[in-house]
Every structure is written in C-alpha cells, then in structure tokens.
DNA sequence: CATCGTTGAATTGTTCAACACTTGACAAGT
DNA sequence: ACTTGTCAAGTGTTGAACAATTCAACGATG
C-alpha cells in the first residue's frame, strides 16, 4: 500500500538521467558536441529544461561547458585516470579493511553483482558487464557507511565508465576478471581482510594500466602546430 | 596575450557565488526558505537564471530542494556532522602522513592561513577566522595532489561552514585553537608526520564534539533510533 | 468534535519567444 | 600572407505565460 516513492521527479532530472545513460552507455562518445535546441526537441522538452539538465551533468563531470562555445561530452585524460584510480585505492582498500561482521547485509548484494557480471560475460554483453563490475566496487564503498562518500564515489565511477566505453571495443579478454572478483568476494566473506585488500590493490593496478593504455593510444600527445 | 584574467563568467554562476557567500557568511541561516521571484529580482536577474544558480547550490549541498515545495538553506543534522568528520579524518590524516619534502610549496601557504587566523582572532573577527581555519585544513588536502579530491573536500567544508555560523555566537574561547594549529604546522614543517597526525586527529575530535554539541542543542527535537 | 472533500491563492515547474552577445568561418580588401 | 568586415549559428539571458502542485482555510457531513 505504501509505495517506496511516487513518480515525483522533475522533467529536468529525468532529462539528465536519460542523457547520463546515453553517455555511460557509450551512445554519446567523449568529445561529442551537444547542442541545446536539437537535444531539447529530440527529448521533447524545452530549451530551458534541457539547460538545467546539462547543468546537472556538467557539475557531475560528465559534460564540459565552454562559455558561448557549447557543451561536449567530457574526455578523460591520462591525468584524470591517474587521479581517479588514486582515489579508488584510497577509498576501496580502507573500505574492505573496515568490513565488519555487522556489515553482512552487503555481502548478498556483492554476490548479486558478481553473478550478474559473470552472466553478462557469458552473454558477451560487455556494456552491462562493465555496469556490474563497477557496481561491485561501489558496494565495497558501502562498508564506510557514509552517504556523502558513496555519492562522491559514484560520480568518480561515472567519469570512469565514460572512459571505459572505449575499452569495450578492444577488450580481448573480458572474462579474465571473473576469478579476481570471485577471490575478492571469497576473502571478504571469510574475513581475510588483509589478503583481500592485497588482491584488490593488484586488481586496481591492472585496471588502471589497461585503461591508461587505451586512453593513451586513443588520443595521443597533442599536436603542437 | 593574457586571456586567463578576463572576467567571463555567466550570470548564473555569479548569482550562485553571491548566494553561496551569503549562506557561508551566515547571512542566510540554515532552514531559511528562498523564493525564486523575490530573490531573482533582488539580484537583478531573471527567474530562469536564478533557478540555474539554485540548481548549482543544491548540487553542492548548500540548498535543499523539495519539488513544488521550494528550496531552503540546508540544515546540518548530527548525522551529517558525523559523516563529514569521518571524511575529514579519512582525508586529512593520510594527507599529512604523505607530506613529502617536494610539497614544500604548500608550507608558506599554510603559514599564511595560520597568521591570518591569528590576526582575525586578535581582531575578534570570528567569521573571517573560521574562513582561515578551514582554509588551513583545505591546504592540508593539497598534499594528496588530487584536484577532484580538493573539490570534494571543498564542498564538505562548505557544508560544515554553514553549520559553524551557529558556533560563532556562543564561541567562548575562540583563541584556543591557535596553539593547536601552530603545533600542527610546526610538526609538519619539521617532518614529524606521525606526531602531527596525532595532534590533528585530536583536534578533529575536539572540533566535532564542539560542533555536535551546538547542533544538538540547536534543534534537539531530533529523535534518532 | 472530528474527519473529510473542496476551494482558491501562492509558489514552483515548464514552455515559449524574443533579443543580446560571442564565436568561428568565410569573403574582401590591403 | 595578413588584416578586417560581415554573417550565420549557437549560447546566454530575459520576460511572460501556462500547468501542476502544495497548503491553508472553509464548510459539510457524520
């Protein structure tokens, strides 16, 4: 009788969500310029509403605004990747180290994300697999029990995922991460937190390296005319 | 050509800055309801522009939006304070521990903030003193050399400062923090990072306790269970 | 007396159309 | 080649309108 939440969301928020989804899915690739009028009419909203939506996404880091020059889908630089992984290490490793038995409600969700990931890999649905992968890591942050931190981490992951759509195409071995995530989950659920942190740390190193290589070869050193 | 100094900011951003300043100065106290039309006309901007400004501040956490119910200056709860200080400990202590000699460019700035703080305390300018206090801690975050982290920390400090304007009034001993900050600076510049972290940790505990007491007595009708 | 619709004013959400300003490209002139 | 002028396209901003929602006051009904 008491529904969780009634459909009370502003149109601007919905427009932002749709746009966010398109960016995170790789439908809108980094660097793509977005014009207000065509986008607004394609979503069936007014230009002002679309501007509010774009304002939201630009504050999330997904869009980059240049005044009077329009907005474009943000493009991750190597420095960005380095920054984001620095933060991931700083946040995820203490998270698993602080995992206590009273946090057990997170374990089933971790298992769910793990299984979803494996299912997607078997189905060759890599975009969805990336989602489950990142969801798995987001759940680790829950151990901190800090809503602000979760939100911050979520925006980080959003930026990262935007760059990861580039990885999909040349992802030669998408299933290689399964045993790693399995191991993390297993060590975590059995309380071997130090070992878990070690595996996680290595996993993050590998992930950063792979993404950096793709980004680096994607848009190489700026041409100095 | 020096293009970096040209004053090219959108009106919406400027409106947001003005409003942010008023909130952080305590001119607009937590809980104050803000109506679009009066505010817009008082700043001499249109309603749409003011809406964009409010959107910015709500995403920064300074304003709280209830759909169709208006926006109000956010109010820190005890849980918020706990969250924010949890994050401050998580960010500031590793920051000083990772302080290396190559970060020496931060030290003069820390000294500047320290001296500004002492100057304000002597002049009984507590609002400005709080600014220098928080600036001192923001500078510590610089040791992480991570721009995203600095931005995140800055929004945290913004929320905190909003709650601290309540402290000003009953601040019985505003100069008590001088020796603590001095000590932190001294230990930091002499490389005694472990000791520095210990002092900083204690300082944060004290600060949280003081703020919690004020918040708790400010709106006590808060049953948490 | 209390509870439940109803009404209506006030405020926000959204749209629309217009204008000012900036930018980038192209053409003309030197 | 370099500068300058022009122009179209796009963003920034405004003001007015309408739709949707909230909230409080008001009765009506039991």
Digit-coded pLDDT (tens) for B190-222: 999 999 999 999 999 999 998 999 888 876 443
- How does pLDDT run across B53-84, given as a tens digit for each residue? 999 999 999 999 999 999 999 999 999 999 99
A220/B37: higher pLDDT: B37
Nearest-CA neighbor of B202 among B80, B96, B106?
Answer: B96
> Residue A30 in contact with residue A73, Cβ under 8 Å?
yes
pLDDT for residue B223:
35
pLDDT for residue B2:
43
pLDDT for residue A222:
41
- How does pLDDT run across B171-189, given as a tens digit for each residue? 556 677 888 999 999 999 9
Place A169 in a pLDDT band, splitting at 50, 70 and 90.
Answer: low
Q: What is the DSSP letter of A153?
A: H
- Residues B65 and A117: their CA atoms lie apart, in Å, by 36
Could you say which of B10, B51, B147 has the minimum Cβ distance to residue A83? B147
pLDDT for residue B184:
95
Cβ pairs bridging A and B (under 8 Å):
46
Q: Nearest nucleotide, C1' to the C-alpha of A34?
A: D10
Q: Which two tokens mark B172?
A: 């019985």
Which nucleotides in chain D lie closer than 7 A to a protein CB? 10-17, 20-23
Q: Which of residues 154-183 of A touch B (CB under 8 A)?
A: 156
- How does pLDDT run across A113-141, given as a tens digit for each residue? 999 999 988 888 888 888 999 999 999 99
- How does pLDDT run across B106-151, given as a tens digit for each residue? 999 999 999 999 999 888 888 888 899 999 999 999 999 999 999 9
- How does pLDDT run across B93-107, given as a tens digit for each residue? 999 999 987 777 899
A214/B185: higher pLDDT: B185
pLDDT for residue B224:
34
- What mean pLDDT do residues A187-194 have? 94
| Cβ–Cβ below 8 Å for A10 and B67 | yes
How deeply is B114 buried, as exposed, middle or buried, from its count of CB atoms within 10 A (0-12, 13-18, 19+)?
buried
Place B32 in a pLDDT band, splitting at 50, 70 and 90.
Answer: very high
Strand partners, B63: B73
A174/A15: higher pLDDT: A15
One-letter-per-residue 3-state SS of B158-214: HHHHHHHHHHHHCCCCHHHHHHHHHHHHHHHHCCCHHHHHHHHHHHHHHHHHHHHHH
Q: Which two tokens mark B171?
A: 């601040």
Please provide the distance, in angstroms rounded to a whole number, between the alpha carbons at the two ends of chain A: 66
| Cβ–Cβ below 8 Å for A86 and B144 | yes
Quote the crossing angle between the two packed helices B47-60 and B36-43, to the nearest 10°.
110
Place B168 in a pLDDT band, splitting at 50, 70 and 90.
Answer: low
pLDDT for residue B222:
37
Q: Is the pLDDT of residue A78 over 90?
A: yes
pLDDT for residue B174:
66
| Cβ–Cβ below 8 Å for A55 and B51 | no
- What mean pLDDT do residues B36-65 have? 97
Q: Where are the alpha helices (DSSP H) in chain A?
A: 11-24, 36-43, 47-60, 78-97, 106-122, 126-141, 147-169, 177-189, 193-218
| Cβ–Cβ below 8 Å for B156 and A148 | yes
Q: Is the pLDDT of residue B225 over 60?
A: no
Per-chain mean pLDDT for chain A:
89
* Chain A residues lying within 8 Å of B149, measured CB to CB: 83, 87
| Cβ–Cβ below 8 Å for B55 and A51 | no
Q: What percent of chain B has pLDDT over 90?
A: 73
Given CB atoms, is B147 within the 8 Å cutoff of chain A? yes
pLDDT for residue A175:
73
Per-chain mean pLDDT for chain B:
89
| Overall residue count recorded for chain B in this entry | 225
Q: Report the greatest alpha carbon distance in chain B.
A: 61
B1/A9: higher pLDDT: A9
Residue A172: CB atoms within 10 Å = 5
Place A168 in a pLDDT band, splitting at 50, 70 and 90.
Answer: low
Given CB atoms, is A8 within the 8 Å cutoff of chain B? yes
> Residue B22 in contact with residue B66, Cβ under 8 Å?
no
């Amino acid at each position: 009788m008491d529904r969780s939440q009634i459909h009370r969301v502003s149109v601007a928020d919905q427009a932002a969500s749709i746009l966010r989804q398109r960016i995170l899915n790789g439908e809108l690739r980094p660097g793509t310029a977005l014009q207000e009028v065509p986008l607004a009419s394609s979503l069936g909203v007014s230009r002002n509403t679309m501007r509010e939506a774009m304002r939201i996404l630009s504050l999330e880091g997904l869009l980059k605004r240049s005044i009077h020059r329009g907005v474009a889908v943000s493009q991750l630089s190597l420095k960005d990747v380095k920054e984001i992984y620095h933060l991931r290490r700083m946040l995820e490793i203490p998270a698993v180290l602080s995992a206590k038995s009273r946090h057990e409600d997170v374990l089933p969700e971790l298992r769910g994300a793990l299984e979803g990931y494996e299912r997607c890999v078997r189905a060759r649905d890599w975009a969805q697999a990336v989602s489950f992968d990142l969801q798995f890591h987001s759940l680790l942050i829950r151990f901190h029990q800090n809503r602000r931190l979760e939100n911050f981490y979520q925006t980080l992951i959003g930026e990262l995922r935007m760059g990861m759509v580039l990885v999909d195409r040349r992802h030669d071995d998408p299933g290689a991460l399964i045993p790693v995530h399995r191991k993390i989950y297993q060590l975590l659920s059995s309380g071997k937190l130090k070992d878990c942190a070690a595996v996680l740390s290595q996993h993050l190193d590998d992930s950063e390296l792979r993404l950096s290589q793709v980004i680096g070869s994607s848009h190489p050193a700026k041409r100095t005319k």
